[in-house]
Amino acid sequence: MLVRELRAQPEPWDKYASDLRTRWLVIFHGPEWVLQWTAYYLSRWAFLEVLEYLGVFSILIAVIFYFSEAGDRIKQKHYQAWQVINTAQGKGGSGGRIEALQELNMDGVPLVGVDASGAFLQGIRLHHANLLRSNLSASDLRNSDLADSNLSFANLRSANLRYALLRRANLSDADMESADFVDADLSDADLTGARLSNTDLRNASLQGIHWQHIAVIDGANVWAARDAPDGFISWALAHHAISVKGDSE
């Protein structure tokens, strides 16, 4: 905010000019004297003070409108994110979906039923995401963070989840047929009702998993599964799981 000060009245020209030692200095001091009188009159002009207050008031109004429209801007941001996701549906590659999904999840938007099948989502961070009934079949989710996420009834068929973080994830009733969980962390994940036919669980961390009511596990590879609960490996093999080191075997 500008600080306005009342200027002292300048000297009349006769007195001002009398102080000049040489006459040729008038061409320099003449304009200065005129500007001093101009500044003097402007400092006493109330109209300029009103303009100053109006400028401050307009800034205040702009700030109020900015915050009042914050909700609309968030809605527009979410709409654009969903547009990116839906436009790329059924296509390979990322198509901006990693950023869009992460942005929606960070804002607490449920991702229920999202279709990102076949998408390149490597390294995506969807901690605590609500992915109920989502379709992530054949998607590349290597090194992703899906810890504490709700993947109940999700379609994860043939998805690549190597090195993915799925601690405490809800995978109940999820279809995980032929999914790749090599070196993934499934600690404390809920696998109640999950279908694990031909799922690759080699070297995956299975500490504390809820496995007693897994629906299907035939053909699943549990070779070198780490920290598996007591009884799980023997139960899995008894229900037609396998334990082989390599794919060729």
Supply the DSSP string of 184-237, one letter for each residue.
-B-TT-B-TT-B-TT-B-TT-B-TT-B-TT-SB-TT-B-TT-BTPPTTHHHHHH
| pLDDT of 95 | 79
**Model pTM above 0.75:** no
Residue 151: pLDDT band (50, 70, 90) is: very high
* Cβ neighbours around 232 below 10 Å, total: 19
Q: Tens digits of per-residue pLDDT, 84-93?
A: 999 988 777 7
The crossing angle, in degrees rounded to 10, of helices 70-87 and 46-68 is 40
pLDDT at 141 > cutoff 90: yes
pLDDT at 248 > cutoff 50: no
Higher per-residue confidence, 29 vs 112: 112
Output the CA torsion sign for 94, 115, 152, 156. negative
Q: Where are the domains of the chain?
A: 13-68, 91-249
Q: By C-alpha distance, which of 232, 234, 231, 198 is closest to 216?
A: 198
pLDDT at 247 > cutoff 90: no
pLDDT at 217 > cutoff 50: yes
Output the CA torsion sign for 84, 87, 88, 90. positive
Alpha-carbon distance of 17 to 134, in angstroms, equals: 88
Higher per-residue confidence, 21 vs 60: 60
Q: How high is the mean pLDDT of the chain?
A: 86
Superfamily in which the 91-249 domain is placed by CATH: E3 ubiquitin-protein ligase SopA (2.160.20.80)
The arithmetic mean of pLDDT across residues 49-62, rounded, is: 71
| pLDDT of 39 | 72
The arithmetic mean of pLDDT across residues 209-233, rounded, is: 98
The arithmetic mean of pLDDT across residues 163-171, rounded, is: 98
CA dihedral 81, 82, 87, 93 (to 10 degrees): 60
pLDDT at 71 > cutoff 80: no
pLDDT at 97 > cutoff 70: yes
pLDDT at 4 > cutoff 60: no
Q: By C-alpha distance, which of 165, 118, 158, 125 is closest to 139?
A: 118
Alpha-carbon distance of 138 to 199, in angstroms, equals: 13
| pLDDT of 114 | 96
Q: What percent of the chain has pLDDT over 90?
A: 65
Alpha-carbon distance of 54 to 227, in angstroms, equals: 70
pLDDT at 62 > cutoff 60: yes
